[in-house]
Structure 1
Amino acid sequence: MRGWRKHARHLRAGLVLLAASSLVLTACSTGGDQSGEQEIGPEEKKSSEYPGYLANSELTTVNAGSAFGTASVASQLSGRLYPGAFVSGPTGQLVPNSDLVTTHEWMDGDQRNVLYTVTEDATYSDGTPVTCDDFLLAYTAGQMQEMFGSNMPLMEQVESVACAPENKKFLVKFQPGQGGQWRSMFGPGTVMPAHKIAERAEMSREELVNALYSQDPNQLGRVAEIWRFAFGLDHFIPEMHVSYGPFALDSVGEQGEVLLKRNDNYYGDPALIDNLVIWPIHSDVSEVTQQDNLLVADAAVSEPKWFDKETMGDNFEIEDVVGDLTDSLIFSDSGVFEQQWARQAFAACIDQEEIAKVSSEASGVEVPAVYTHAVNHNDPLARTLASVTKEHQETDMDKAGQLAGMTIRIGYLGEDERLQAMVDSIRQQCEPAGITVEEVTGGNVSAAFLEMDPETWLPSIDAFLGPINSRSQYGVNAPSLARVDELRDEERQLWEDLPGLPLSAEPHTFFISPQLANAVPYTGSTGIGWNMDRWYVQDAPESAESSTSEG
Structure 2
Amino acid sequence: MEAISAQRSTSANQTQRRVGALGAALMLAAGTLSACGQGSESEPTPSNEIFGYAVDENLQTTNAGSALGASTKAQLLAARIYPGPFTQGPKGQWIPNRDLAQGQLLPGVQQRATFKINEQAKYSDGAPVTCESFLLAYTAGVMPTLFHSFMPLMNEVERVECQPNARQVDVVFKKGYGPRWRQIFGAGTLLPAHAIAERAGMTLEELNVALSNQNWNSLVDVAQAWNEGFELNEFQSDLQVSSGPYKIRSVGDQGEVVLERNEFYAGEQAAEAELVLWPRDSDWAKLAKDKVLRVADSTSMKDFSWLDRDDPEQTMDVEQLEGVMTDTLLLSDSGVFANAENRRAFAACIDQASVAKASSEVSGVEVSPVATRTLRAGDPSAAHVTDISDPHLPANVDLAKVLGGTRVAIGYAAPDDRKKAMVQAMKRSCESAGIEIVDASEEGSGIEDLRWAGTNGNVMPNLDGTLDALLLAVDPVEDFGGSAKSKADIEGIRADERASWDEVLTVPLATQPRVIVHDRNVQNVVANSNASGVGWNMDRWSLAQQ
* TM-score bracket for this pair, using the shorter chain length: 0.7 to 0.9
Larger displacement relative to structure 2 (421-430 or 113-122) = 421-430
Instruction: Report the equivalent of 2:531.
Output: 525
Matches within 5 A, 1:311-330: 314-330=314-330
Instruction: Report the equivalent of 2:133.
Output: 134
1:404 paired with 2:420, answer: no
Report the Cα offset of residue 164 of structure 1.
1.6
Instruction: Report the equivalent of 2:277.
Output: 278
Instruction: Report the equivalent of 1:250.
Output: 249
CA distance in 2, matches of 1:509, 1:349: 30
Larger displacement relative to structure 2 (219-228 or 156-165) = 219-228
SS in 1 for 2:238: helix
Which deviations, in whole Å up to 9, do the C-alpha atoms of 1:362-401 show, x marking residues without a partner?
1000000011112100111111211111221232212212
Larger displacement relative to structure 2 (395-404 or 247-256) = 395-404
AA aligned to 2:206 is: E
CA distance in 1, matches of 2:461, 2:365: 43
Q: 1:444 to 1:117 in 2, by over 3 A?
A: farther
Instruction: Report the equivalent of 2:436.
Output: 436
Matches within 5 A, 1:4-83: 43-83=43-83
Q: 1:302 to 1:54 in 2, by over 3 A?
A: same
Report the Cα offset of residue 312 of structure 1.
6.4
C-alpha contact 1:125 1:242 (8 A) present in aligned 2: yes
Instruction: Report the equivalent of 2:258.
Output: 259
1:448 paired with 2:448, answer: yes
CA distance in 1, matches of 2:233, 2:133: 24
TM-score (norm 1): 0.87
- More relative contact order, 1 or 2 (CA 8 Å, 6+ apart): 2
SS in 2 for 1:95: strand
CA distance in 2, matches of 1:146, 1:85: 27
CA distance in 2, matches of 1:148, 1:41: 37
1:477 paired with 2:484, answer: yes
CA distance in 2, matches of 1:461, 1:254: 31
Matches within 5 A, 1:90-489: 90-109=90-109, 111-304=110-303, 307-309=306-308, 314-441=314-441, 445-450=445-450, 452=452, 457-475=463-481, 476-480=483-487, 482-489=488-495
CA distance in 2, matches of 1:41, 1:291: 24
CA distance in 2, matches of 1:168, 1:295: 38
Instruction: Report the equivalent of 1:495.
Output: 501
Q: 1:404 to 1:133 in 2, by over 3 A?
A: same
C-alpha contact 1:374 1:490 (8 A) present in aligned 2: yes
Q: 1:42 to 1:360 in 2, by over 3 A?
A: farther
Report the Cα offset of residue 451 of structure 1.
5.3
AA aligned to 1:118 is: I
C-alpha contact 1:68 1:444 (8 A) present in aligned 2: no
Q: 1:167 to 1:369 in 2, by over 3 A?
A: same
Aligned length: 502
Report the Cα offset of residue 308 of structure 1.
3.4
SS in 2 for 1:395: coil
C-alpha contact 1:452 1:460 (8 A) present in aligned 2: no
Report the Cα offset of residue 59 of structure 1.
0.8
CA distance in 2, matches of 1:323, 1:63: 23
SS in 1 for 2:376: coil
Say which structure is richer in helix: 1
Identity of aligned residues (%): 39
Return 5+ residue gaps in structure 2 as ranges. Answer: 4-39, 454-459
Q: 1:507 to 1:443 in 2, by over 3 A?
A: farther
C-alpha contact 2:124 2:264 (8 A) present in aligned 1: yes
Instruction: Report the equivalent of 1:23.
Output: none
Report the Cα offset of residue 502 of structure 1.
0.7
Q: Which runs of 4+ in 1 moved over 4 A?
A: 310-313, 453-456
Instruction: Report the equivalent of 1:20.
Output: none
Q: 1:211 to 1:442 in 2, by over 3 A?
A: farther
Which deviations, in whole Å up to 9, do the C-alpha atoms of 1:376-428 show, x marking residues without a partner?
00111111211111221232212212112222121212321111111122122
AA aligned to 1:489 is: A
TM-score (norm 2): 0.88
C-alpha contact 1:105 1:115 (8 A) present in aligned 2: yes
SS in 1 for 2:432: helix
CA distance in 2, matches of 1:326, 1:91: 16
Q: 1:459 to 1:41 in 2, by over 3 A?
A: farther
